[in-house]
Amino acid sequence: MAVSNATPGLVTTEKQEPLYLNENVRAFALFMLSLGLFLLFWEFGARAGWFVQGVPTASETIKEFWWWVSNPFFDNGPNDLGIGWNLLISLRRVAIGYILASLVAVPLGILIGISPVAYKAFNPYVQLLKPVSPLAWLPLGLYILRDSEQTGVFIIFISSIWPTLINTAFGVASVDKDYLDVANTLGASRLRTIIKVIIPAALPNIVSGLRISMGIAWLVIVAAEMLLGTGLGYFIWNEWNNLSIANILVAIFIIGLVGLLLDSLFAALEKFVAFGRNS
């Protein structure tokens, strides 16, 4: 009897915590609260003329946003193009430039990472070119390629190559020596070691390099397109010429949203290749 009396007492100590104490619930509530306060401040501030002249109210901007996303695909010439088309144009440029960059950066990174001599020999190039602003390549691209479309792709290529290259080379060069010892004691050939051990071991580094590169490509495309025509960057520039601040805000929100989606895609991929490492 005594034992059966003790059990309910034990159960009560493991009571489910109330919903309002859950960390995620509280974070979400705080997020919604801050968002509401921000929108209210914006709405009333714009109506009361606290900001510079011509700032749209929050409700106007949300209405514009709704209009743009409910009619994404219309085409009345290059200066009046639906946001969906502009987004697809930007994504296409990013995809081509980024995939080309990855196809160069990953194999080159593996080669550089495997050989300490190559690592030391090519490091100066990488270190010198990495900090150069992508837009500095724009005139050079236009001069060489004589084509704005190709120049856009070229700029994405040149700016998204470095993080992948550096991370791949680093990942390959710093593969745990134990894995290599295992392959060596088994008498694995160089090629088999590279394919079966070095590349999978470096994969988390390679994917995080690809993730950083994707982030940079998405940053750069908007800036590059301001000077190119068509795409989200050009959309912003065009709306600036129309002095339509609300549309600029809509575009900024969409660029942020797409960037977030792309990044979470790579975050999921990173998790997939980690297998319990660095987590």
**Interface with other proteins (CB under 8 A):** 176, 178-179, 181-188, 192, 196-197, 200-201, 203, 273, 275-277
What is the closest distance, in whole angstroms, from the C-beta atom of residue 177 to other proteins in the complex?
9
DSSP 38: H
In this structure, how many other beta carbons lie within 10 angstroms of the beta carbon of residue 16? Answer: 6
Nearer of residues 122 and 179 to other proteins, judged by Cβ: 179
Cα–Cα distance measured from residue 203 to residue 68, given in angstroms and rounded to the nearest whole number: 40
What is the closest distance, in whole angstroms, from the C-beta atom of residue 106 to other proteins in the complex?
17
What is the closest distance, in whole angstroms, from the C-beta atom of residue 110 to other proteins in the complex?
16
Nearer of residues 175 and 224 to other proteins, judged by Cβ: 175
Q: Residue 166: helix, strand or coil by DSSP?
A: helix
In this structure, how many other beta carbons lie within 10 angstroms of the beta carbon of residue 250? Answer: 25
Nearer of residues 80 and 176 to other proteins, judged by Cβ: 176
Cα–Cα distance measured from residue 74 to residue 58, given in angstroms and rounded to the nearest whole number: 25
Residue type at position 142: L
Nearer of residues 159 and 167 to other proteins, judged by Cβ: 167
What is the closest distance, in whole angstroms, from the C-beta atom of residue 183 to other proteins in the complex?
7
Nearer of residues 14 and 178 to other proteins, judged by Cβ: 178
What is the closest distance, in whole angstroms, from the C-beta atom of residue 251 to other proteins in the complex?
41
In this structure, how many other beta carbons lie within 10 angstroms of the beta carbon of residue 15? Answer: 7
What is the closest distance, in whole angstroms, from the C-beta atom of residue 279 to other proteins in the complex?
9
Compute the C-alpha angle 93/252/139, nearest 5°: 45
Non-local CB neighbours of 125 within 8 Å, separated by 6+ positions: none
In this structure, how many other beta carbons lie within 10 angstroms of the beta carbon of residue 274? Answer: 14
Nearer of residues 82 and 200 to other proteins, judged by Cβ: 200
Task: Say if residue 131 is exposed, middle or buried (CB neighbours under 10 Å; 0-12, 13-18, 19+).
Answer: exposed
